[in-house]
Amino acid sequence: MYRKIGSGFGVPLARSLDLVLVLVLVLVLVLVLVLVLDTQRPRALFHWGLAALDPRHPSSPL
């Protein structure tokens, strides 16, 4: 019934798979929300990403 996973904890395989599925769904939802918000203010995140890479950019955190 129990299979040891990675660090040696006896975790039921089904429960760990459910956990993985929930994490994947949450990540997908976050990505969709980010993309939807990003389309409302076009390319803002893309520009912020470029600014983060370019120290000369005024809004760069570097």
pTM: 0.41
Q: What is the pLDDT of residues 16-55, one digit of tens each?
A: 778 888 999 999 998 888 777 766 555 555 666 666 666 6
pLDDT at residue number 37: 72
DSSP-based three-state secondary structure for 61? coil
**Tell me, what's the pLDDT at 35?**
76
Question: What is the Cα–Cα distance from 5 to 30, expressed in whole angstroms?
Answer: 27
More confident residue, 25 or 58: 25
Taking the alpha carbons of 27, 39, 50, 62 in that order, is the dihedral positive or negative?
A: negative
| Number of C-beta neighbours around residue 18 at 10 A | 11
